[in-house]
Amino acid sequence: MRITGISTHVVGTPWRNLTYVRVHTDEGLSGVGETRMLGRTDALLGYLREAEANHIAGSDPFAVEDLVRRMKYGDYGRAGEIVMSGIACVETACWDIKGKALGVPVWQLLGGRVTERVKAYANGWYTVERTPEAFHAAARRVVERGYRALKLDPFGTGRFELDREETLRSLSLVEAVRDAIGPDAELMVEMHGRFNPATAVRLAAELEPFRPSWLEEPVPPENLRALAKVAERTRLPIATGERIHDRIEFRELFESQAADIIQPDVGHLGGIGETRKLAATAETHYVLVAPHNVGGAVLTAASLQVAGCTPNFKVLEHFNDFADAEVKQLVRGAPEVVDGYFELPQGPGLGVELDVAAAAELPQRRARFDLWAEGWEKREQR
């Protein structure tokens, strides 16, 4: 079996473009992968056009390791977000082809399942006014839908520091959400790399009464020593990793012991196999895995393949019950959250199929997501 070519399909929403890549073979089988780019979709498409000619066409889709190696290192330059995201789409599609050809789900090819259900947490649900009353009502809708975990960034446009007025406002939002979901549901607090270490440590102490399951990206992701400084001064678990695009770059994070949970994005880290390798390394450091997952149903299905065979897997993020829910309709067999959990996919490959005609009805948009703009949490077209 050989790859004859790829086709790309970009789906637009107000705040994100979802890029789907279908890999085609000379035996009629095709597979699909997905990533979500912010502000770099055209760059990704340009890279994929070159990679198709230089590396992908003519390759054996079963030889996933070889294809990833050539795409990552065969152009000499250091692979960053664009290259690793392109690799992720193609790599995931190859796993999909392999699973279909063999008649088994991908998790079966990665060592077999360690769980039948994967806990989900909701994101994208707080597209409301930034008041305790609005956040309380929105959080109630999440738990009424069966979720037992959710995440929010309550900090507005906070950057480096947060004055007392904004601190009290942010804490009031977290307090309202905790009240809405009750004492037993998991509450994750996202900081989006906003703060300097001193501010992050102060906020962590003030958040402790609400028992968050983690603080996510308390400081900008470029400086791991700053993250370690925060980790050393709080009792709350630290989560990070969505903006690290190469598993090798997690080495320093593990050595610093600055994170309790890592959040690789399957769509940016090079795909399913790369994420599974990273998870195995994390296990040796007693670190849990909770992938960043802000794409559509294909990326969710790919993340579930990793979840199914990963002993140190914690929970999977899910946007599409609350933000841009229409993107689920583009994929046949889209995973659904029932009573707070995903069932492990049982179909061959990823267990999903992209509806190309439906995807064409949501063309690429000039999507933007500016965390420093007032009202960013509403995720509206600007």
Hey, is 308 helix, strand or coil? helix
C-alpha torsion sign, points 100, 104, 107, 109: negative
Give exposure, 65-98, as e/b (b: 16+ Cβ within 10 Å): eebbebbbeeeeeebebbbbbbbbbbbbbbbbbb
Q: Which two tokens stand for residue 252?
A: 């320093």
Q: Using N-to-C axis directions, what is the helix angle for 41-51 and 81-102, rounded to 10°?
A: 60
Question: With a threshold of 0.85, does the pTM exceed it?
Answer: yes
In this structure, what DSSP letter does residue 329 have?
G
pLDDT at 325: 87
Q: Which two tokens stand for residue 335?
A: 């995973």
Task: Residue 62: count other Cβ atoms within 10 Å of its Cβ.
Answer: 15
Rg of the chain on CA atoms, in Å: 20
With tokens 């012991």, the residue in question is: 257
Contact 238, 224 (CB under 8 A): no
Catalytic residue numbers, as ranges: 192, 292
Task: For the chain, list residues with pLDDT below 50.
Answer: none
pLDDT at 382: 58
